Amino acid sequence: MNRNVLRLSANRGAIGVAYLLTLVALIPLCLVLAYTIFRGFPAVSHLEFFTNVERPVGVPGSGVAHAIVGTLILVGIASVVAVPIGVLGGIYLAEYSGNRWADWARLGSDVLIGTPSIAVGLFAYALFVAPFHHFSGLSGSLALAVLMLPIVVRTTESAVRLIPGGLRESGLALGLPRWRVSLQLILPAAAPGVITGALLSVARASGETAPLLFTSFGNPFLSTNPTQPLEALPHIVYKFALLPYPALQEQAWGAALVLVVMVLIINLASRYVLRRQIRLAGQL
Amino acid sequence: MATATDVKVAVHAPVSPAIPDRFRLLTGIVAAAAPATLVLIVFILFQQAWPAITHFGLGFLTSRTWNPVTQEFGALPGIFGTVATSLIALVFALPIGVAAALVLAEQGQTTIRGLVGTAIELLAAIPSVVYGIWALYVLGPWAFAHIEAPISDRFGFVGWLSEASPRSLFTASLVLAVMILPTLTAVSRDVIRAVPRGLKENAVALGATWWETTWRVILPAARSGIFGATILALGRALGETIAVTMVIGNNYQIPPSIFSPAYTLASVIANEFTEASGVLYPAALVELGLALILVTLTVNVIAMVLVRSTASRAAI
């Protein structure tokens, strides 16, 4: 009897601890969000923050327009490179899985996801900065594309796998060649999932700083030329946060807030789309 | 008559083997882009680091000096900082991550469980530079005032608990723990869910409590998968650059205490690569990157094999 009391109280204690630790896991998310909103709001509440470029310390009306433009260009070029390659690769992994080539490609993608982004930056520097003797937005885009590629591959693969075999078989039964089945039947059906994957990779790329440090480098002026250095939002946060000027630190928090809002919107929206996709695929 | 021969031809022509699946070939080649990039990255880094590799040999990994003026470079303090921050981060994150995974993997998808799961996964989406600025202004000062200073005041006589400072190995470990928590939780949750339900039901039928079922049945069954999740998180922690660079204090030494400033491989590269001139200096930095990438690749491959083997065993 006594032993059972002991067992039950141990059980209750363990359940309590497990739930408590789960709550502890949520604390950092709340804190990061709360602080970014509170500290970032003063900067974001001025319209100049989005329309002006960087000004010297002490001059009011400083903004991050150049960094927003830079991030758009960097991530845009990276997407143009990474998304088509990633989608085709993902289709291969889903449609022709089960052979050794596909297994290696899948393992390679998974390992590439975990590659330190700073190493990818070194790689892009050696390939696209050193030979031209100057930093450029293009080299930064290449580094970001390397980081985006495996995410697009793996999300496309899982989106295509959700499509039931019946759709594929009916296409093949009508005599369509494999490429038409894959590209004109399966891919449109899987489109929401594929787009979601591409957006998630965009979210990841727009938040990366490390690979840009010695590729796109940063640029205090508004520039749209990808062969020259470009500024990026995460780089603004990194650069200004470490400087001893409160005005610049406020700008850093503002840029951090813009990043967090963008990334969270993309992630929450993609969750919603994916859930719908899973439901729709069940009805096909 | 013409129609009859046509039919005959159509019947005898073997359709599928005659047409090579060009689409398969093309997408197969494209799918190889990811592994090919991986190989190319390692190759390029080897090539760039070659001057340093031939000049310093294996001594590079055990030397403690880092002096661009005298052109003497050694990786040991960087390796120490990288490994120490990641391991301390795991010590903090592992119990929390596994506990959260157990709660989230419970049967029955309630709204609260869904919300908590989403929230923890959103932690993974926040850019590392945002964690960096938060750790720099909020977490670091807080940890210094409420954890580091009290501990080093009372236990400072223990060498590795002395000399509290707001930017330190410890602060970097804390922010890393926060950053690897979502990976650890999400992968562990999936592995725990993959444990065959029968095992759990048998234990419950024998009268085991939730805790006894979890501790004696579920966790042993999911052991190698949780170990894989841990290793995967370790790989993330080893390669993390920006957040760590902002709070570790950037001091190239093997720190006397966990509360002292230190340096990691990735932080050294982030801080010094754009200013490195000459031949040996940048090559030495790239060699640090090479060491980092080789370690993370090994760690990641081990993790993936472990996670997959657990998942596939559970499927049987």
Q: Tell me the ipTM for this assembly.
A: 0.92
Question: Which residue in chain A is spatially nearest to B42 when comparing CA positions?
Answer: A123
Average pLDDT of chain B? Answer: 87
Q: Please give chain A's pLDDT, 284 residues, in tens.
A: 688 889 999 999 999 999 999 999 999 889 999 999 999 999 999 888 999 898 888 888 888 999 999 999 999 999 999 999 999 999 999 988 888 899 899 999 999 998 999 999 999 999 999 999 889 999 999 999 999 999 999 999 988 988 888 888 999 999 998 889 999 999 998 988 899 889 999 999 999 999 999 899 888 899 999 999 999 999 999 999 999 999 899 999 999 999 999 999 999 888 888 888 778 777 76
Q: What is the pLDDT of residue B10?
A: 45
Give A49-283's CATH code, choosing from 1.20.1260.10, 3.10.580.10, 3.40.50.1820, 1.10.3720.10: 1.10.3720.10
Q: Indicate the DSSP class of residue B72.
A: E
What does the pLDDT read at residue A54?
87
**Are A35 and B134 within 8 A, CB to CB?**
yes
Q: Residue B273's domain spans which residues?
A: 39-315
Please list every residue in chain A whose beta carbon sits closer than 8 Å to the beta carbon of residue B286. Answer: 122, 126
Range with the lowest mean pLDDT among B44-48, B100-104, B305-309? Answer: B305-309
- What is the rounded CA–CA span in Å between residue B295 and residue B234? 10
- B5: pLDDT confidence band, cut at 50, 70 and 90? very low
Residue B254, pLDDT above cutoff 50: yes
List the single residue in A with minimal CA-CA distance to B249.
A242
Nearest to A116 among B30, B47, B296 (CB): B296
Residues 6+ apart with CB under 8 A from B271: B245, B250
What percentage of chain B carries pLDDT values higher than 70? 91
Q: Determine which of B13-17, B136-140, B194-198 has the lowest per-residue pLDDT on average.
A: B13-17
> Mapping DSSP to helix (H, G, I), strand (E, B) and coil, where does residue A53 land?
coil
Q: Which residues of B touch A95 (CB under 8 A)?
A: 24, 27
Domain total in chain B = 1
B34, part of any domain: no
Contact of A123 with B41, CB cutoff 8 Å: yes
Contacts B285 to A, Cβ<8 Å: 122
Sort out which chain B residues have CB atoms less than 8 A from A117's CB and list them. Answer: 239, 241
B156 by DSSP, 3-state: which? coil
Distance from CA of A227 to the nearest CA of B (A): 18
Asked if B127 and A259 come within 8 Å (Cβ–Cβ), the reply is yes
**Residue B96: φ, ψ to 5°:** -65, -45
A160: exposed, middle or buried (C-beta count within 10 Å: 0-12, 13-18, 19+)? buried
Confidence (pLDDT) at A284 = 64
Helix, strand or coil, per DSSP, at residue B264: coil
Residue boundaries of the structural domains of chain A: 2-45, 49-283
Q: Is the pLDDT of residue B13 over 70?
A: no
- Please answer yes or no on whether A29 and B120 come within 8 Å at the CB atom: yes
B26 located within any domain? no
pLDDT of res. B98: 94
- C-beta atoms surrounding A1 within 10 Å: 5
pLDDT at A87: 95
Residue B2 has pLDDT above 70, yes or no: no
Asked, for residue B5, whether it belongs to a domain, the answer is no
pLDDT of amino acid B4: 46
Most confident of A43-57, B39-53, B108-122: B39-53
Q: How many CB atoms lie within 10 A of CB B72?
A: 14
pLDDT tens digits along B127-154: 999 999 999 999 999 999 998 888 888 8
Query: What stretches of chain B adopt beta strand conformation (E)?
Result: 66-67, 72-73
pLDDT for B19 equals 61
- Report the CATH number that the domain containing residue B179 is assigned in CATH: 1.10.3720.10
Round to whole Å and give the CA distance between B226 and B192: 8
Residue B170: pLDDT over 70: yes
- Distance separating alpha carbons of residues B297 and A26, to the nearest angstrom: 30
Q: Which residues of A touch B128 (CB under 8 A)?
A: 207-210
By Cβ distance, the residue of A24, A116, A234 closest to B127 is A234
Task: Please tell me the distance in Å from A52's CA to the nearest CA on chain B.
Answer: 22
How would you class B114 by CB atoms within 10 Å of its CB: exposed for 0-12, middle for 13-18, buried for 19 or more? exposed
- CA dihedral of residues A153, A158, A161, A162 (deg, nearest 10): -140
CA-based nearest residue in chain A for residue B273: A214
pLDDT band at B6 (very low <50, low <70, confident <90, very high): very low
CA A171 – CA B89 distance, rounded (Å):
51
Whole-number pLDDT of residue A270: 87
d(CA A173, CA A192): 25
User: Is residue B28 one of the residues assigned to a domain?
Assistant: no
- Quick check: A233 and A64 in contact, CB under 8 A? yes
Interchain contact, B134 vs A36, CB within 8 Å: yes
